[in-house]
Amino acid sequence: MSKKTDYEGFCQEFKKKLQLLVFLIKFALSDFGKGDSSALGYGDNLLPGQPPGLARYLLNLIEREKNVRISWEISNLGNYYSTTRDWLPESEQMGVKGSKKLFKKSFNETSKFEYDLIIIVFSGVQDFHKGISPEETLLNLEKLIKVLSNYGIMTFIYKGFPNFPGLKYFGESCVSDQAKRTELLSEWLDANKFDHLKVGPEISSFEYKHPGLYFKDVNFSQLGYRNLAKDSMDVLTPCLVKIQFQTLRKYIK
């Protein structure tokens, strides 16, 4: 067999395998906004055949990113009125009552993950509404991040809480409570480094105070989702390229 035939055969086989390489980015937004309404894209226009909200804008940016040459599928795992307790892995639920067991429903804890996954995690106001303290919120997020890291899953967690105008509608106690959660999470992220943990953009920054970024004051608008996706890509793109390189290398050997 000639070298040319060998090369053509390799290209055909590589192309066939490459077509099967569809990766997932999943959004495990624990309790963002009004109980995962932002995870589900509330405030964005819903277009046929496209995921709503942050997923849509991230997908568009990934497809246009010249350094990313593998297809990525983006899924929303939003669940209305869920808390950080609801997203705890079953192995970490000892003593926790009333959990929706969303981690178990979303992932198979007993087997290896089929795809390379990137999980994006936010934390919002539902913990406050359900009487969960800032300290417990941090503990729950810490448990979730460590389990995902042990699985080898790249996890992005966004610092802070968006400065949406409607936060004042929840009352002063909610505002101070969220400030405490932001402080605790920021301190923990500064003190703990994991190979599979990345910190997303600072969504409680001054840039996220503009009212045009929000729909009805309590969810991101189209502009808000677009800006969040753009800021996210600064951190996400190097990770996508790294996974791409590691994956393609398996087939080039």
The pair of structure tokens assigned to 148 is 């995902």
166-183 pLDDT, tens digit per residue, is 667 777 888 888 888 888
Question: Angle at which helices 134-150 and 172-191 pack, to 10 degrees?
Answer: 40
CA distances from 170 to 126, 167, 218, 221, 225 (A): 11, 6, 10, 19, 22
Mean pLDDT of the chain: 75
Distance, CA of 174 to CA of 182 (rounded, Å): 12
The per-residue pLDDT for 29 is 40
The per-residue pLDDT for 18 is 47
Under CATH, which number does the domain 22-252 receive? 3.40.50.1110
- Burial of 172 from C-beta contacts in 10 A (0-12 / 13-18 / 19+): exposed
Strand 23-27 and strand 117-121: pairing?
parallel
Q: Which residue has the tokens 């002063």?
A: 172
The per-residue pLDDT for 130 is 84
Nearest to 218 by CA among 76, 29, 47, 37: 37
Low-confidence residues of the chain: pLDDT under 50: 1, 3, 14, 16-21, 27-35, 110-112, 114
Counts for the chain of helices (H) and strands (E), in that order: 7, 7
